[in-house]
Amino acid sequence: MTFQEALDLMGRDESFRATIYAMNTLLIEKGIYTSEEFQSLFIEHAINFKNHFRGKSQRLAEIFPEAAHANP
């Protein structure tokens, strides 16, 4: 199968997933980062997704509610 045939076979979303797969595989195999580092960042993204990608100030306000009221 050629690269073009692979592109033609997959839709846009699956082509994107294939690109991510290929990039991550190369980066891990070349020692740019480890599987553990990848998994840690993946989990971090999932937590952000679960929390609806709240900004830093909103997260800090939830952790330190008294600080949120101190700065008008």
Residue 68 CB neighbours (<10 A): 14
Say how far apart CA 1 and CA 4 lie, in whole Å. Answer: 8
- Are residues 42 and 26 part of one domain? no
- Are residues 39 and 20 part of one domain? no
5 vs 65, higher pLDDT: 5
pLDDT at 1 over 80: yes
Residues 60, 68 contacting (CB under 8 angstroms): yes
Taking the whole predicted model, whether its pTM rises above 0.85 is answered as no
62 vs 39, higher pLDDT: 39
- Are residues 39 and 71 part of one domain? yes
- Are residues 38 and 14 part of one domain? no
- Are residues 50 and 28 part of one domain? no
pLDDT at 20 over 90: yes
- Are residues 7 and 24 part of one domain? yes
CB-based contacts of 61, cutoff 8 Å, min separation 6: 67, 68
Q: Which domain holds residue 11?
A: 1-32
